């Protein structure tokens, strides 16, 4: 609807087309170095802070050389996680856990001999049972030494593995980072860059509307995207090509935004 009304060829604020901001690119580049050296990396942050953008950039960076099997369904048992990994590696996952582990190790060495780097990514790793994570870590001990495991999750993951009983996991962490919220300048840069990518003028959002979006989003990329998209939809409803306070306020009075605002006021 937005694309048709504004005469665009691409969808504005599409997640798959989001370019990394400067601080995200720096984290991406650091992770790439660790992918060559091996180890265990933690990519942490609040929901909506931009972890997924970095994860997707790693997966798309060099798919012919950088193999990035991804586990997103972390609430599964260890055996089912093995099956997910086998599926990601495009190998047979029939049989028990031992057979799956054996096939994964063999495939890892085959890929290593072809000059490929293996970088398994576990998304929402804070939801994963710590014993499943420990078994996965032990499995990867038998992988070629230049592999790298990246755990993507919320900061509670670091708190969990910092317990003394989990030092066998934490002691293997070679790099960790907690993504910060965007400051107003970064948030404005993100919005304007997305307008440029879609072919929309910067004046599509009035200065007042832009300031309100930045303030209401509290520096979270996902909130910025959702508010901007909803405001553009409101502009389509009003048959106007300019997003102003009227459209943004109509978005922010919706219950899910209103509740967040009320919680902030109470705190």
Name the least confident of 75-84, 96-105, 203-212, 258-267.
258-267
Confidence of residue 217 (pLDDT cuts 50, 70, 90): very high
What's the rounded mean pLDDT across residues 60-82?
87
Q: DSSP alpha helices (H): ranges in 114-183?
A: 130-140, 156-161, 167-170
The DSSP H or E segment spanning 71 is: strand 70-71
139-193 pLDDT, tens digit per residue, is: 988 888 878 899 999 999 999 999 999 999 999 999 999 999 999 999 999 999 9
**Hey, what CATH topology would domain 22-178 get?**
Rossmann fold (3.40.50)
Nearest-CA neighbor of 181 among 220, 123, 148? 220
The DSSP H or E segment spanning 118 is: strand 117-118
Long-range contacts of 84-92 (CB under 8 A, 24+ apart): 85/120
Note whether 124 and 72 are within 8 A (CB).
Answer: yes
What's the alpha-carbon Rg for the chain, to the nearest Å? 21
113-138 pLDDT, tens digit per residue, is: 998 889 999 999 999 999 999 999 88
pTM of the model: 0.86
Share the mean pLDDT of the chain: 89
Note whether 146 and 38 are within 8 A (CB).
Answer: yes
Could you state, in order of their start, the residue ranges of all structural domains in the chain?
2-8+182-260, 22-178
DSSP-assigned letter for residue 46? -
Question: Terminus-to-terminus CA distance in the chain, angstroms?
Answer: 38
What's the rounded mean pLDDT across residues 68-94?
89
4-61 pLDDT, tens digit per residue, is: 898 888 888 887 666 788 999 999 999 998 888 778 999 999 999 999 999 999 988 8
- Report whether CATH 1.10.8 matches the domain 2-8+182-260: yes
């Amino acid at each position: 609807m937005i694309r048709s009304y504004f005469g665009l060829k691409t969808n504005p604020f599409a997640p798959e087309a989001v370019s990394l901001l400067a601080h995200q690119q720096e984290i991406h580049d650091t992770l790439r170095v660790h992918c060559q050296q091996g180890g265990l990396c933690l990519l942490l942050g609040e929901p909506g802070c931009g972890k997924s953008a970095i994860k997707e950039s790693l997966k798309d960076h060099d798919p012919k050389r950088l193999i990035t099997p991804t586990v997103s369904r972390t609430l599964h048992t260890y055996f089912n996680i093995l099956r997910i990994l086998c599926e990601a590696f495009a190998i047979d996952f029939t049989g028990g856990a031992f057979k799956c582990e054996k096939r994964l190790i063999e495939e890892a060495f085959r890929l290593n001999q072809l000059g490929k780097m293996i970088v398994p990514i576990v998304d929402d790793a804070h939801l994963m049972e710590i014993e499943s994570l420990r078994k996965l870590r032990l499995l990867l001990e038998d992988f070629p030494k230049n592999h790298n495991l990246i755990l993507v999750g919320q900061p509670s993951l670091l708190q969990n593995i910092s317990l003394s009983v989990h030092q066998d996991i934490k002691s293997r962490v070679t790099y960790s980072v907690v993504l910060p919220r965007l400051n107003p300048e970064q948030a404005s840069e993100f919005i304007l860059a997305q307008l440029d990518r879609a072919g929309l003028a910067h004046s599509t959002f009035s200065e007042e509307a832009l300031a309100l979006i930045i303030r209401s989003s509290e520096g979270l990329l996902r909130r910025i995207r959702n508010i901007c998209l909803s405001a553009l939809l409101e502009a389509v409803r009003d048959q106007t090509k300019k997003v102003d306070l009227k459209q943004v306020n109509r978005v922010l009075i919706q219950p899910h935004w209103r509740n967040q605002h009320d919680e902030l006021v109470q705190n």
